[in-house]
Structure formats: structure tokens, C-alpha cells
Amino acid sequence: MAGATATSGVAQAAAQGPCDVYAAGGTPCVAAHSTTRALYAGYGGPLYQVRRSSDQALRDIGVQGAGGYADAAAQDSFCAGTSCVITVIYDQSGKGNHLTQAPGGGAASGPDNLADATLAPTTLNGHRAYGVYVAPGTGYRDNHTSGIATGDQPEGMYAILDGTHYNGGCCFDYGNAETSSNDTGNGHMEAIYFGNIKVWGYGAGPGPWVMADLENGLFSGENARYNANDPTVSHRYLSAMVKGAPNQWAIRAGDAQSGGLSTFYSGPRPNVAGYNPMHKEGAIILGIGGDNSKGAQGTFYEGVMTSGYPSEATENAVQANIVAAGYANSSATTGALRGTGSGKCLDVPNASATAGTQTQIYTCWGGANQTWTRTADGQLTVNVSGSTLCLDASSGGTADGTKVVTWPCNGGANQKWQFNSDGTVTGVPSGRCLDVAGAAVADSTPVQLWSCWGGDNQKWTLG
């Protein structure tokens, strides 16, 4: 990979962060947001702030040491026995471009929802951290920034995203947007988009795609509709980059866990009126469109915006830094089992110890009846009312619609569960997925076995 030599994750984190790389390339960060790690070697301040529901208290979550990883243990301790949301994502650049709860805008009223602080567990070189889980209706914004590109000024940006968490809603963005929270015309935005909507531009295959939201259009290239060179991407951890300068812009992306970047587009601005020159306004958004369109979903771990148009060599070195950070799925074996589609937890109703109680989803609150342990032999156990029970496919059933219940642990195959890389959890004898019935999201919706089909109601995270 050009521009950098990967070293051990700990040494790389201590030696430099991505914003040190950008600065060395002459395109310094003017916004740097992360809930997982410091983006400068010398940064030792807060990464984000959480608010717990039990007493509305606030807590800044910082790093374990300058240039290091998030202090996830501080969040775990503060939020134990209750739920927490992320209220602020701090700007590490020193320019004060912090992301907070987005206000209403032209497309949707507000304020927007705040992200549950525990729904996107991850690890970086074995260090536990949390990303920002954006469910539809969730959004962050700063309409009063310093140093962000305006007009046709050059800029670059990247974001590390969960490449398996997306939808066709508008619009999961990170980047430059309108300061009024309204659509003010073509070319008034420049943001990274990730998802599989096809209303505007799109790329090859079924999606999702990395594209640019330039307002009144998601663009995959110069053509207003289609770029065959912008492929469907599905990396669990995705590096997505967009940059723009006078009549020049580019999309680059790659696997944030290994390898380099590919260029999906580099060339002139879209051949539609209003995009050359650009009319960027300099607000920053996360999880929403420029006019507060908030029907999209996704997960954000870190991202920056730069002053100036970064070179490919600089971006390649940033990618090497990202890979060295060692993003990986959470290695937790005990915690809440959270549904991707609902954001709610697998729950034993009323903490019942009665054998055969069908499990459900319910708002996460940290109770013992929502705390599951994945054992070495593939069981999922829960302690309720003094009894340790196993997650069980009722009566050894393997058909669609089989109830998923709690039952005394007996070593049976119908109490063994496989965690898969796509987020599904499958019963060992049936191969069918742990499924929220009807893809519903309401409290008390039952959980069952169903044929795996890729829906978010069949995807889970433990942690």
C-alpha cells in the first residue's frame, strides 16, 4: 500500500493518527469525529458524551491515553443498569466543530433522535469501543462551523462505516451540508453517502454503494444516473472517501480491515446545472440529508473533513493507518443481544423462569433477563429469577415459525447457536435464523426461527 508501512496496531496508534497523516500531506483536518479512538497522536481529550436515562446525568468518554483508544469501560460503568444515548461527538481538530442532536429541517421536523450508545460494539486491536448506530430518525449536525469548505473551496473527507448496515432511505450521509437545514439548491452539499437507494444516481450491482450527496442528487460519477465503475461494496468495516475541488471530484473506498483503496470515480463535476462551480455552505451532518431527510440507517465509527484536496498518496497512507487500527467485531461473550432492525434487546418476558417461555424483543434496559452469555459449546444462557436457562428451539423444531424459548440447559442440539459474519445467529440443527416475527420493532414482538433472507430483523450484535 503506497505511502505508509503498517506496524503493530498499538505502535501505529501511538505514533500517528489519520489527521497527522493529512497534516503531513498539506491537507489538515478541520473536523475529526470518532467514538472509537483518537485521530491525532497527541489527542487526549473527550471523544463523545453520553446521557443515561435513569437520572439524565452526562458523562464525557475519553481515550485511555493520548493517541489511544476509547475508554469503553467508563461508558459501561456509567450506563450499567440503564440505557445511554450519545449526545455529543466531539471535534478533535480544535476548531469546535462538534456534532450534536440535529434540529428539524425542510424535509422532517426535529429534533432528531440520538443514537443508543451501546448498539454498535466493536474492537480495535482488541480494545473494546462503540460506534454510532444510526436508526431511521437519528441524526447529528453542526450548522455553525469553523474552517469547513464553502463555495467551490477544495476539501476531502473519509468515514469508517459498517458496510452491512444500510437501507434505501434518504440519506445516510457524513460531510458538508446547508447551514439552514433546508435544501437550498444543486451543489450546496458535498457529503459521503452510503446505501442502496436508486432514486438518483447509483452504481453497479444491487448496492449498497459509496456515492456523493451533492444536494438534489446522489452521484456515482459525472453522469447524473449511473457509473458502472462504482461497485456494490459489502465490507464489514468500510473506508469511504469523497473529495472535491473546482470542477474535480473523486470517490474512493476500500476494506477498512485490510488492503488498499480503489478509485470508483475521479473526474469532472456532474454534467448537470448547479454543480460547477459548487456552492458548499460548510455545515456538518451525520446520518441525515442536508434538509434533515432522516429515513436512512447506518453505523459510523470515525471520520474527518480536511482543508484542501488530499493527494492519493496521502489517502493511501490514511488507509494504512485505518487498517493498522485493527477494527474487528466485538469479542464479547456476555451482554445484551441487540437486534439490528429494531435496536431492541432479546428479552425473557417478565424475567420468567418458567420453562418454555417464548423470548421477545424489548427496549434495552440492562436487566439480567436481557443479559446473555455465549458459551464455548455454542449455547446462549440467561440467568432469570435465580435460574440459568438456555435459548432453545422449542421441541427441537426446525421449521419456519418455531418458537425460540428458554429451557433448562440439557446439551441438546436445539440449544446450540452459530454466530455468523453477516450478523445472523442460526440454530445449529435447523440452519434457520433467529428472527423477529414480521420484522416488527414494537416491544414484546416474539422471536422465532425463520429461513434466512438477509433482513435486518435477522441480524444481531452481542455486547
Q: Which residues are catalytic?
A: 215, 291
Q: Position of cell 501505529?
A: 12
The DSSP H or E segment spanning 129 is strand 127-130
For CA atoms 159, 164, 337, 136, give the dihedral sign. Answer: positive
Q: Which three cell numbers stand for residue 95?
A: 476548531
Phi, psi for residue 58 in degrees, rounded to 5: -110, 150
Cα separations in angstroms, 208 against 68, 137, 197, 221, 247: 31, 20, 8, 15, 26
375, 388 contact by CB (below 8 A): no
446, 359 contact by CB (below 8 A): yes
With CA atoms as reference, report the closest residue to 36 among 295, 301, 292. 301
E-state strands within 363-457: 372-374, 380-384, 387-393, 404-408, 417-419, 425-427, 433-436, 447-450
458, 404 contact by CB (below 8 A): no
Phi, psi for residue 323 in degrees, rounded to 5: -60, -40
Q: Which three cell numbers stand for residue 98?
A: 462538534
Q: Which three cell numbers stand for residue 412?
A: 441438546
* Three-state SS at 439: helix
**Within 10 Å of residue 454's Cβ, how many Cβ atoms?**
11
DSSP-derived letter for residue 317 is: H
The DSSP H or E segment spanning 338 is strand 337-339
DSSP class per residue in 174-234: EEEE-TTSS---TTS-EEEEEE---SS-B-STT--EEEEE-SS-EESSSSSSB-TTS----
Burial 128-150 (b: 16+ CB within 10 A, else e): bbbbbbbbbbbbbbbbebebbbb
* Cross-strand bridge partners of residue 302: 34, 160
* Three-state SS at 72: helix
